[in-house]
Structure 1
């Protein structure tokens, strides 16, 4: 879900918001809502002043300075960052009653890693992760948190770009439509994606270098792929199973978890790329999710 979609989504009820705030206060009592939260807010100038004081203290050795710097960042900078992330997660929580199922060790790990994030765009991802974990405890592993914590903004943008050409298959896997631009395979989707972009995601552990994936359709059957806003329905009218989508790179499990927070199939030329990738013998249609029920029932293929 993008920031734009978050802004356009219906606001949750005041009762749900109150329950969500209460659930978050339970997880993070030291950054509780209301006056206690405001009392912990710190200006970044105060943090910089404190760090400068530590660095200029000649009675401390380098290791001791590192410990005090970390403590200052955690108690001041971390709290500011976490407050923004927690505030952002409030309208995204749908099942605040599930908060009791969250592992305390996960919360500690989340605080440590998310608290270091000061970039507002990346904080949106952390807000989504927190809300998702409250709704479904155990959804995001600590390994997932570790990988997300290493993301630079530019890397997150690359990942979102690949997701904008991706779908969820019937097996709950993420498949990316990639139309090769030249024989060397250095660019895809009319230069929207470079091979170096994919290499970056491999190095981050978000895509799998060893496993490929394709989409097959049984005889006289259909395969339903889903983006964030529509279905891509593929029809096989033949008497034999066919490969509808060629073997392509696949997301790792961590990558799939992160993709669940992104807008899938939202690229402006997504339909065009799908048409280029699919073989001619495949019939297909794009159906908005709200109109999908009667289309899924179609049998004339």
Structure 2
């Protein structure tokens, strides 16, 4: 297929490095810019790196065993001994869990070479450590490690409130949130920009094939602003009316345009600020058949659709899609 040069012709700009909104590019939900470097105790270099070293040297374990032995051989009463030993074991488990999470983060290979680790806010780091220390399962530690990687790469992208919400989520909540993210358009663009993820409704009564009670639980957690069944505002928007418009769907970035006076109508309900932040940990728009269904609906509505092959700033090249899936 031939490549065609194009430039975004409406509010959905694709400016490099900026957050890009599908509906209003001027209202970014969160900032991906790095926080200015400040004088503060380095998060990983001084604290967690030291813990990693002591883990390798078995310092924590040896120290815990020594302390427990001292308590057992002391003259204090049995109940006090049991309480002190339980505290020592809890502290040891917490420290080792934190180290496991940090090791997973640094061994992932996803931390950017120019990432400024010292820019991570120390209060955020303390809250993160509190929560990460209570994660025992490999699955949970992987999630928190991925969150740490994202925060190191873009300090400030996760609020302390978001950490608290993630800590409150159980495995069922996590699955529901993941499933919802897989039914979203938006996400990272090839030029480094980012589109706010939108749970897409094909029609007014779209139920996402998700349980209404599960979605209600996400609302209670503060991740979404709607319930299935009509409670909560929905939003309608028209795409492609102002020129070629790049939109991320699943693993690809598409562009669409409509003839003068035409547009593609979408209906969606939104995440809260905290839901948008957590969506960075999920794969967007990858539900089975979702990408094909969305792009196919655009073609059926008469829009011209292409798949973006190159993108720099607000300019991009695309290969036209000539038929519906």
Q: What TM-score do the two structures reach when normalised by structure 2? A: 0.65
Q: 1:101 to 1:271 in 2, by over 3 A?
A: closer
Q: Deviations over 1:233-292 (max 9, x none)?
A: 33222325x45212x2211111111111211111121135426865943526473x6567
In the TM superposition, what is the alpha-carbon distance from 1:69 to its structure 2 partner?
Answer: 4.7
Structure 2 CA distance for partners of 1:96 and 1:151, relative to 1, 3 Å: farther
Query: Which of the numbers 299, 303, 318 marks the counterpart of 1:295?
Result: 318
Q: Is 2:122 aligned against 1:122? A: no
Is 1:245 aligned to 2:266, yes or no?
yes
Shift of 1:41: 6.3
**CA distance in structure 2 between the aligned counterparts of 1:257 and 1:58, rounded to whole angstroms:** 48
- Alignment counterpart, residue 80 of structure 1, candidates 84, 96, 101: 96
Q: More helix per residue: 1 or 2?
A: 1
User: Given that residues 245 and 255 in structure 2 are in contact (C-alpha distance below 8 angstroms), is that contact kept between their aligned partners in structure 1?
Assistant: yes
- Deviation readout 1:134-172 (Å, 9 max, x if unpaired): 112111111111011111122111111111111217983
Can you list the C-alpha shifts for 1:185-221, whole angstroms capped at 9, x where unaligned? 5843xx3x22223212111111113453333236352
Q: 1:173 aligns with which of 196, 211, 220?
A: 196
CA distance in 1, matches of 2:194, 2:85: 49
CA separation in 1, counterparts of 2:197 and 2:178?
A: 13
Cα 1:158/1:225, change in 2 over 3 Å: same
Could you say if the C-alpha distance between residues 219 and 97 of structure 1 is closer, same or farther in structure 2, counting changes exceeding 3 Å? closer
Q: What TM-score does the superposition give when structure 1 sets the normalisation length?
A: 0.70
Where does structure 2 lack aligned partners over 5 or more consecutive residues? 1-41, 188-192, 227-231
- Whether 2:119 is the aligned partner of 1:101: answer yes
Alignment of 1:47-196 (within 5 A): 59-60=79-80, 65=83, 69=86, 72-73=89-90, 75-90=91-106, 91-95=109-113, 97-168=115-186, 172-179=195-202, 185=205, 187-188=207-208, 191=209, 193-196=210-213
Residue aligning to 1:230: 252
> Using a 3 Å threshold, how does the CA distance of structure 1 residues 143 and 229 change in structure 2: closer, same or farther?
same
Please give the root-mean-square deviation of Cα atoms over the aligned residues, in Å. Answer: 3.7
Summarize deviations over 1:58-98 as a string: whole Å, max 9, x none.
645xxx95x9756632x222122212211111122114541
Out of 256, 262, 275, the residue aligned to residue 255 of structure 1 is 275
Task: Determine the C-alpha separation between the residues in 1 that align with 2:51 and 2:103.
Answer: 10
SS of residue in 1 equivalent to 2:294: helix
Greater relative contact order, per chain length (Cα 8 Å cut-off, separation 6+)? 2
| Contact 1:214–1:245, Cα closer than 8 Å, also in 2 | yes
**Alignment gaps of 5+ in structure 1:** 1-21
Q: 1:197 maps to what in 2?
A: 214
Please give the alpha-carbon distance, in whole angstroms, between the structure 2 residues aligned to 1:277 and 1:42.
59
**What CA distance in whole angstroms lies between the structure 1 residues aligned with 2:279 and 2:304?**
24
